[in-house]
Amino acid sequence: MKYFSTNKQSPFVDFKEATIQGQAPDKGLYFPETIPTVDKNLIVDIENISNEDIGFRVLKPYVGNTIPDENLFQIVSESISFPIPLVKISDYIYSLELFHGPTLAFKDVGARFMSRCLGFFLKDEKKNVTILVATSGDTGGAVANGFYNVDGVEVVILYPSGKVSAVQEQQLTSLGKNIHALEVQGNFDDCQQMVKQAFADKDINQHLFLSSANSINIARWLPQQMYYFFAYKQWQDKSAPPVISVPSGNFGNICAGILAMKSGLPFQHFIAACNKNDVVSIFLETQKFIPKKAEATISNAMDVGHPSNFTRILEIFKQQFQELKSNLSALSVSDEATVETINSVYSLHQYLLDPHGAVGYFALQHYLTKHERQKGIFLETAHPVKFPIAVAQATGKTIEMPYDLKQLMQAEKQSILIKPEYAILKDYLLKG
């Protein structure tokens, strides 16, 4: 399998080179030359196949010969070594819980997969690699956990000051050692833009071995397909494939799901569940993609005004707008509706949503009211304990914090406050 840049100005590379580089030299995102077709026997017999084998068979075509089969199987197994259950909320709506990993967020799978792939690829390298990543919430903690104390790897995480939850901030700032947090006085788009400038900076790349751990990196993005296969494995009515609602910020997760559908996984339709950052919702109405400055919401991990992975979704559909629109809807959900959804779902079903899952639930419910014969799955992407203020506002309930998280919250925060200026990041990186 070869990968090309979405900007079409960089050479084709294999999975190894795309993973190590993170972003293509022309600032585009790497995309597979062809979309593999899933073995029909995998779909037909999926209930009798282990998650480890499903993940291996799905990802093998993308990895090619860059990782031996036994190593890839081990990487997959370690990346999904926790439950990913499909939970029934009502007769029509189910929750795919992606928060049972070490940092209580869906990004654990991708971060663990990528860290192990990079570890395999770089084991014989003599110079350190610097993982540079921007986060709007959960990516930072997942990447920090995945790469913590890994020999030969330094991690620099940029996050927007005051715009992540207390638990999210603690997960990415309290580890120390090879994990370095830069608290940016701006929003996520500022952080992401600074990271992209660093990857395009020839001076920095002459001095540092840079790689990315955002979902712009294929080793973070592609393994997210596994969620969707595990959801279908647990879906009882195979004759009526579900609608899938995905809380969407930078659009990496939903893009992976659409890729899985394109490869042969039977799904009915995808919904991009967005907060007030509605760039894609507007695009689907007007065909005009106009990035905006991100606005802060209680579903903070989705506060993205320029979702970079949307270009990959366009690539999946070969820029054909009508085909895209027939497979993807989008809905922008207000904070008020998000809080009310947490409250109503808890009252009616005794199920506690986090703000991101609540946006996904609301968008799915809205879709199903217009498509009455269908059923669907929303992705619950983070544990509600990470958002105690929003949950308390909605339900009046205080969530009991797990012991490990209590210990984490008592650890010392280690971060450097910086202005959203690329020159400051460049100086920090070059000084090491």
A 10 A CB-CB count for 45 gives 10
Encoded tokens for 165: 């939850």
Domain contains 140: no
Q: What is the pLDDT of residue 200?
A: 86
Domain contains 285: yes
* Separation in Å, CA 31 to CA 3, 79, 170, 310: 5, 22, 33, 12
Amino acid 422 reads Y
Domain contains 400: no
Catalytic sites, residue numbers = 107
Domain of 374: which CATH number? 3.40.50.1100
The residue length of the chain stands at: 432
> What pTM does this model have?
0.90
Q: pLDDT tens digit string along 41-95? A: 999 999 999 999 999 999 999 999 999 999 999 999 999 999 999 999 999 999 9
Q: In the 8-state DSSP scheme, what is residue 247? A: E
- Rounded-to-integer distance, Cα 102 and Cα 98, Å: 11
Q: At what angle do helices 69-79 and 51-63 cross, to 10 degrees?
A: 130
* Structural domain span for residue 89: 83-104+221-395
Encoded tokens for 359: 């946006």
Domain contains 51: no
Q: What is the pLDDT of residue 401?
A: 83
Domain contains 382: yes
Domain count, the chain: 1
Encoded tokens for 213: 């751990």
DSSP string for residues in 148-204: TT-TTEEEEEEEETTSS-HHHHHHHHS--TTEEEEEESS-HHHHHHHHHHHHH-HHH
> What are the 10-residue block averages of pLDDT along the chain, 432 residues in total?
96 96 91 97 97 98 98 97 97 97 92 91 81 87 89 92 92 94 94 92 90 88 98 96 97 97 97 97 95 92 93 96 97 97 97 97 97 95 91 89 85 96 96 80
339, 272, 5, 39 alpha-carbon torsion, rounded to 10°: 120
Domain contains 421: no
Q: What is the pLDDT of residue 89?
A: 98
State CA 203 to chain mean position distance. 30
Domain contains 405: no
